[in-house]
Amino acid sequence: MNILYASNDGFARHLGTSMYSLFDKNRGAETITVYVLSLGLSEENIEKLQTIAKLFNRELIILELGDIRNKFDFDVDTGGYDISIMGRLFMGEMLPEHVDRVLYLDCDTVIVRSIEKMWKTDLCGAIFGAVMEPTIYEAVKESIGLGTEDGYYNSGVLLVDLKRWREERVQEKLMQFLKEKGGALFASDQDLLNGALKGSIHTLMPVCNFFPNYRYFSYQTLVEHAPSYKIVSKDEFKKAKKHPMIIHYMGDERPWIRGNLNHYRLAYERYLEKTPWAGTPKQKGKELYMLIYHAMDYATAICPEIRWYISKKFGMKAVMSRKKQTGEKKA
């Protein structure tokens, strides 16, 4: 199996946690080679990552991307997200030519079951496979050329036919689409992949990339909000809630933030303590927000309209907040 991550120093401990869980839950795999697209990872963090790989006798290859902004001949606005999220777009040119299939994982994922069955998934001619994110705003879909019946996919877990990716010059298509959109999209790389590759994405089941806040949504609510989600059966959705394969800690209720009550947080905490980053204190200062956020989770289960309202009202404020924080870091 070929696995790909993209990371800078800010996400190194999350990458290490994800990688440890990957190796632990796939001990029976004949081979696992992990490639990391580095955006300035320090030697100290690379050594820590190598320690984990050696513990499981697996291969870890670091590929330095350098200043990723130099790869664009136009200005790129990532909406306050770190530019590292764009790293996955360059997998075709960065990975060795003999790698013709790769599983991309965001650093904020933890593997809790073997992924070998997923790895062997038939993509049915698609460029990559991904899990739907039916809660995305309709306005976002419209902005990238998707209709109500079109599926919208999360970019945190991508099973990629890299041979076809290269043959169809996907990287060039992505760059052109982003340029035509003025270098700015609401969900950045995720919108880009959905818009530029519409019709070339295979639907993976939610167990392959389960978002913790979906625990509080009913299947019927998601189908009503996004008719395309009917491709996922009710049983598959229930299975994902109870026995996910990959947990993706997207959203605000992150397990490394102090005071979080994420139902699936223990998986991250357990694996973090096995890594060289064990004992890293949780981020402080958001305890009240975490309590309010978790209350909203339960409100979602009772009345999902509350979450739709809050999400739409404060979604753009969150983006602006990320931009402000990014600006402060640059300053």
Measured distance CA(58)–CA(270) in Å, rounded = 21
Average pLDDT over residues 54-62: 98
**pLDDT at position 320:** 44
- The gap from C-alpha 200 to its chain's centroid, in whole angstroms, comes to 19
Name the β-bridge partners of 77: 184
Measured distance CA(140)–CA(191) in Å, rounded = 8
C-beta of residue 32 within 8 angstroms of C-beta of residue 22: yes
Residue with tokens 């997200």, as numbered in its chain: 81
- 266-311 residue pLDDT tens: 999 999 999 999 999 999 999 999 999 999 999 888 887 777 777 7
**pLDDT at position 73:** 85
Other beta carbons within 10 Å of 19: 28
**pLDDT at position 315:** 57
This prediction's pTM: 0.92
- 245-258 residue pLDDT tens: 999 999 899 999 99
Across the chain, mean pLDDT equals: 91
What are the residue ranges of helices labelled H in the chain? 12-25, 43-55, 91-94, 116-119, 138-143, 162-167, 170-180, 189-196, 219-225, 234-242, 265-272, 287-302, 304-330
**Residue 331: pLDDT above 70?**
no
* 197 compared with 331, residue with greater pLDDT: 197
**Residue 157: pLDDT above 70?**
yes
**pLDDT at position 323:** 40
**pLDDT at position 313:** 64
Domains plus CATH for the chain?
Answer: 2-330 (3.90.550.10)
Nearest of 159, 237, 156 to residue 190 by alpha carbon: 156
**Residue 146: pLDDT above 50?**
yes
Q: Which of 178-187, 219-228, 317-326 has the highest mean pLDDT?
A: 219-228
Average pLDDT over residues 73-79: 83
**pLDDT at position 241:** 97
**Residue 318: pLDDT above 90?**
no
Average pLDDT over residues 219-241: 96
**pLDDT at position 302:** 86
